[in-house]
Amino acid sequence: MARDSQLAALVAPIQGGLERMRDVLVESLRSDVPAVSDMLDHIGRFRGKQLRGALVLLSASAAENTPAPPAAAPRGALEQEAAAPNADEMPAVAAIVEMLHLATLVHDDVLDGAVKRRRVASVNRRWDNQVAVLLGDFLYSRTFYISTTLSSRLASQLLSKATEEICAGEIEQAAGRFDFDMPLSRAERIATAKTGALYGAACELGASYPRREAEASYGEARCGAALRAYGRELGLAFQIVDDVLDLEGDEEVVGKGVGADVADGKVTWPVLHVYASASPGVRAAIRDAYTLPGLDEAPGGRLARLHRVCDLAPGVKAALARAESLVASSRARLTSLRPGPAHAALEALGDYVLQRSW
């Protein structure tokens, strides 16, 4: 497909790293417990875009963050399971980021009652909700464990912190269902947590691993903060586009059902924008579309009703303008990086996000 080939061209500069990342992933999704092994084999078929792993590797390349020469200082006694300090751990870091994302997807499918994930049965569908919760927990703990075997704890720290932010954002979103007066700033904080937190951590790890820039020696890559900001803005833009697709997308192209947010009571950016400037009568009709009983079963569901009672076009337009502005801002974060193929790919990813489906 055109979309896939577009992404393949973007990640061409890091093809070798991606292949090593996939090897690490295959190694990491194994278990001696047969029941667990079956489930890991199953989710190994959820081959996604692996955009987060690619962000680690593209950021490392763009920031020229390559393995340091062997450390002069003696290694700490605790590092017995850690990799050699001058080995290229970046593909392993990328694999850890992808595993973490996989854990969140397994739980997301439980929360959303999803039956399919990338054209394969979801874990909750193939087994049940209980083991899907447990498998997600298994993946989280396996992922954190693997991160503790790296030579630096930076991946453990940034990724556990990002996961905390993701979960807090999801909880805030759940608590804010049917909150039509939610400020856009809060909606953006939630969307940043859901998608931007892991993008940002992936980019920062690529630029900074194994050391945060405050501790990097002179001449080493020092663009962790810039690439973190790039990732967070790109992730927020992605999420806003996702919100628009759920209202306007073509199911065939998007690859998943549309209208899920409305059915779940999630009042997303474009709807908040429309609601804020609507008349009292239209506001009441919007609330009805989300809340009246029986609409889930009507043709087109709640989304069709929402489209009938208000004009979503201004909200969609404003949302896309906001996403474009975020992409422009994210690009500006890259100016300190030396031009090259990875830098160009990070710039082009903004267009990829904006053009996801139209």
* Site residues for a second copy per CB under 8 A: 31, 33-36, 39, 73-74, 76-78, 80-81, 107, 110-111, 129-131, 133-138, 140-142, 144-145, 148-149, 152-154, 156-157, 160-161, 163-164, 166-172, 174-176, 210-212, 214-215
Amino acid at 167: C
Structure-token pair, residue 2: 């055109």
Minimum separation from the CB atom of position 301 to a second copy (A)? 20
Minimum separation from the CB atom of position 170 to a second copy (A)? 5
Minimum separation from the CB atom of position 265 to a second copy (A)? 11
Minimum separation from the CB atom of position 193 to a second copy (A)? 9
User: ∠ CA 113-52-154 to the nearest 5 degrees?
Assistant: 110
Q: Given the complex with a second copy, which of 37 and 325 has the nearer CB atom?
A: 37
Separation CA 6–CA 26 (nearest Å): 25
Axis-axis angle for helices 90-112, 197-208 (nearest 10): 170
Q: Given the complex with a second copy, which of 1 and 78 has the nearer CB atom?
A: 78
Minimum separation from the CB atom of position 147 to a second copy (A)? 8
CA torsion 356-257-249-254 (nearest 10°) is: 20
Q: Given the complex with a second copy, which of 46 and 285 has the nearer CB atom?
A: 46
User: ∠ CA 106-291-288 to the nearest 5 degrees?
Assistant: 140
Q: Given the complex with a second copy, which of 193 and 345 has the nearer CB atom?
A: 193
Minimum separation from the CB atom of position 134 to a second copy (A)? 5
Minimum separation from the CB atom of position 126 to a second copy (A)? 13
Minimum separation from the CB atom of position 174 to a second copy (A)? 5
Separation CA 14–CA 26 (nearest Å): 19
Q: Given the complex with a second copy, which of 212 and 287 has the nearer CB atom?
A: 212
Pick the closest to residue 333 from 250, 254, 234 (CA basis): 234
Minimum separation from the CB atom of position 300 to a second copy (A)? 25
Minimum separation from the CB atom of position 93 to a second copy (A)? 14
Residue 53 phi/psi, 5° resolution?
-65, -40
Q: Given the complex with a second copy, which of 58 and 110 has the nearer CB atom?
A: 110
